[in-house]
Each structure stands twice: as C-alpha cells, then as structure tokens.
Structure 1
Amino acid sequence: MAAPRSFTALKDEESGGSMEQLEDDSPSSKKPKLKKFPLNSWEFAVAVAVFFLFSTALFCIYLTMPATTSANLKLPRTLSDLRTLKDQFSTYANENPVQFIIGYCSTYIFMQTFMIPGTIFMSLLAGALFGVVRGIMLVVFNATAGASSCFFLSKLIGRPIVTWLWPERLRFFQSEIAKRRDKLLNYMLFLR
C-alpha cells in the first residue's frame, strides 16, 4: 500500500484560515520545471522587426549603388582599408550626396545598434569624405541615434534575456555594485 502524500498546513481551519499546500512529496513535484522564454511575442516581434528593417534598408541601398562602387565594398578595419574606401566613395558621394548620406547613416546606426565593431573607422571616413565640421555633425547624429536604439533594444530584450540566462551572475554583479556604491564611477570605468 502506497503512503499518502504529506501536506503541511499554514493555518488550520479552527483559526479561520484555509488549508494551503506547502509541500508535495509526489514524484511529479520533484521534476525540475522548464523555465519559460523571457520575451513575450510582442517583444520578440519588435526585436526581429528592427533587425529585418535595418537589414532590408542596407540591402536596398546596396542594390542601388553603382556596380563599380559596390564591387569592392567592405567595412573598413584598418587605415589602408579606409583610404581605399575613401577613394572609391569620393566620386559617388559627390554625384549622389543624398543617397550616400542615407546609406552611410543606415550603416553607422546599424553597426552602433547591434554593437558591431568598426564605427571608429566609419567616423574617420565621414571626416575624410565630408570635412571636419560636416563630418562631426554627421558622426554625432549617427552615434547618438545608434546608441539610443541600442539602449532601447537592450532594455526591451536584453534585460529579460540576461535575467533568464545568467541569474546568478547578475545577482553577483548587483552585489558587487552595491558594495562599491560610493566609488561606482571608478568601478564602472574599470569594468569598461
């Protein structure tokens, strides 16, 4: 004969409370429960839509470029790549300034939003193609827009995913920040 399940009551019925189940010794209660994916369908749809919107815009801009310019197109990783790209784009930027600026801004904001390395070379390219004053204005606008979209995208999907994947590390990091609350700026600079 099987032993009955053990239930522990918080309050008994004599004190006016109801019986509540605290513990269940059944084998089915001992199985680990799978954690639910942290994003709801709306958040997931927004994240995918942002990625596809940027990707589609970049693909359309690439298709409208002349074949001579798009043949050797790559993101600059060194100063020699930057010089080569400047030579390729200088005539295209002068002939099609609006289209080039839209393509440049879309690429820069995409790289900044999804934290793709290389925005420093994109900033140098803006200075080389547009001059110091217009290049600075363009870079400040793109860096601000990209960082803002990165922040909002991270806040939308990053926080739930980090809490879902690494809850222990997050608690450890939060406790370290709490310990160093008075010297938080130095700690954040050190981590960076």
Structure 2
Amino acid sequence: MGSILWVPLAFLISGIWLYVLSINLPEHTGSDRSALKFPRNFDDLTALASLLKDYKSDNMQYVMLLFCSAYLFKQTFAIPGSFFMVRGALFGTWRAFPLASLLTACGATCCYLLSQFFGKSYIEKFFPEKVQFMQKKVTDNMDSLFFFLLFLRLFPMSPNWFLNMASPILDVPVHLFFLSVLIGLMPYNFICVQTGSMLSEITSLDGIFTKETTLKLFGIATVALLPGLLINKLKEGRLKTN
C-alpha cells in the first residue's frame, strides 16, 4: 500500500486542474464569472446554473468538461454541497440523469481506488467498529453480495462516503462496487436532477412551497422509491441485514 500523502497530492492536482479550467473559461458577453464557484446556498446555485447555461449555448464541450471535472472532484474526495442540483438545471432531466448516474459511479470508484491503494490501514484504524460491523454483514450476504450492495445504497447502514472508502477493506470486487453505485443511487440521482431542473425555474425559496411544486416533488419521490421497495422485498427472502 502506498503512502497516505498521495491523497492530498491527488487533491491538489485535481484542484489545480479545476482552477485552470475556471480561469480559461471562454469569453462570453454579459456573463458574471464571479458566480463560477461551488454553490453554498440557493442564490449561488441559481447564479451558477445561469452562468453555465449562458456558456453552454456556444461552448458546450467546454462546459461539459468543466462540469464533469467538478462533479468527479466532489465525488472522489467526498465533498458535500448543493452542486449536484446544477446538473438538472443545466442539462435537463433526461440528459442529466444518465450523466449524473455515470459520474457518481465513476467518482465513487475513484474514491474506492484511493482507499484501496493509500488509505486502507487508516480506515481500519479510525473506524474499527464500523469496519467490523460491515465486514460481518458482507460475510453473511456473500451468496447474494450484489443485491446486498444495492440494499446498502438504497437503505444505507452507513454514509455513502464511508461505504466508498471501506469497500476495498471488505473485499468488495471493484466491478460489483461500480455497478451497485450506478444502479443503487439512481433513485437519489433522479430526485436531485429533477429537483434541480425544477428549482432552476424558481426565482426564490418561497416558490418551492407552492402547491404545484410540492405535488411534483411528491411524485418524484414516489417514483424514486419504487426500486427501494423492490430491493426491500428481496431482502425479506435472501438478505441478512438485521
């Protein structure tokens, strides 16, 4: 296993890459480049979505590169934030949904690989009880491991960032890990993308609480819960999660 110092080095290189992309954004009349940052609130989110929409009309490839790089950066290093909602506002639901699902799986797999090569001993050192708990669950469900991994994403026993980092320690094969994230987080990604698409049309937070918006959000959540109900039904007969 390599030194843990490779992780901050990878973080630094990735951050420099994003900075280079941001300062070389093509010129666009009337655009406010100060909005080009990870959003911390609703106003930042709408400003960033508006900026990228303006650039997208003439610089689609560059905006796609910038968006994918930022998304993978946040997923790889488990950085929280509301940036995920920009995808729906920027590309629309049916383009953003498969893109977000793929980028989520790729970013999580990068996190998995960083942990596998540079961080396994540290995860075991700082989270021994969680690792032991998850190891027992994986061992108990080895005969239906893929369905158990899906269950963990739909009904997490631990945060997703911890599952990403701990999976190499649990001897979860990388191909099963990738597929379980791709499929298991589809409901979550669908909710975020569709919500982001809706929020891009709202000018203030007061617009979220209208009857029409509330009904739409309820419908989105209902559709997204269907895969979870299916896996939960499967759990009753095949998975050991108690």
Q: TM-score, normalised by structure 2?
A: 0.50
Relative contact order, CA 8 A, sep 6+: which one is greater?
Answer: 2
The answer as to 2:17 corresponding to 1:57 is yes
Whether 1:93 aligns to 2:88 is: no
What is the deviation of 1:46?
4.3
State the aligned residue count. Answer: 146
Match of 1:131 in 2: 92
Partner of 2:38: 75
Question: Whose helix proportion is higher, 1 or 2?
Answer: 2
Instruction: Determine helix, strand or coil for the equivalent of 1:53.
Output: helix
Describe the superposition over 1:42-94 as per-residue Cα deviations: whole angstroms up to 9, x where unpaired: x4564354223312210110110248442232212333332222222211121
Question: 2:4·2:119 contact (CA, 8 Å) conserved in 1?
Answer: no
Matching residue of 2:178? none
Q: How does 1:149-188 map to 2 (within 5 A)?
A: 149-163=110-124, 165-166=125-126, 170=128, 172-173=129-130, 175-176=132-133
Give the residue type in structure 1 aligned to 2:24.
T
Question: Take 2:24 and 2:33, find their aligned partners in 1: how far apart are those partners?
Answer: 9
The letter of the residue matching 2:21 is I
Gaps of 5+ in 2: 143-147, 160-242
Of residues 58, 65, 68 in structure 2, which corresponds to 1:105? Answer: 68
Secondary structure (helix, strand or coil) at the match of 2:94 reads helix
d(CA) in 1 for partners of 2:135, 2:8 = 34
Q: In structure 2, give the amino acid aligned to 1:88.
A: L
Change (3 A) 1:102 1:178: closer
What does 1:24-63 correspond to in 2, within 5 Å?
40=2, 43-44=3-4, 46-63=6-23
Which amino acid in the other structure matches residue 72 of structure 2? I
Instruction: Pick the aligned partner of 2:47 from 84, 90, 96.
Output: 84
- Per-residue CA deviation, residues 121-178 of structure 1 (Å, 9 max, x unaligned), is 3332111111112111221221111111011111222212234x44xx51x4455457
C-alpha distance in 1 between matches for 2:100 and 2:133:
35
Q: Residue 47 of structure 1 aligns to which amino acid in structure 2?
A: V
List, as ranges, runs of 4+ consecutive aligned residues in structure 1 with deviation greater than 6 Å.
178-181, 183-188
Alignment of 1:4-23 (within 5 A): none
User: How well do the aligned residues superpose, as a CA RMSD in angstroms?
Assistant: 3.1
SS at the partner of 2:156? Answer: helix
Q: With structure 1 as the length reference, what TM-score do the two structures score?
A: 0.62
Hey, what's the Cα distance between the residues in 2 that align with 1:94 and 1:142? 22
Q: Percent identity?
A: 25
Q: Deviations over 1:93-141 (max 9, x none)?
A: 21211111101110010011111002xx333211111111211122122
1:33 is matched with which residue? none
Find the counterpart in structure 1 of residue 170 from structure 2: none
Indicate how the Cα distance of structure 1 residues 160 and 81 shifts in structure 2: closer, same or farther if over 3 A, else same: same
Distance 1:63 1:105 in 2: 16
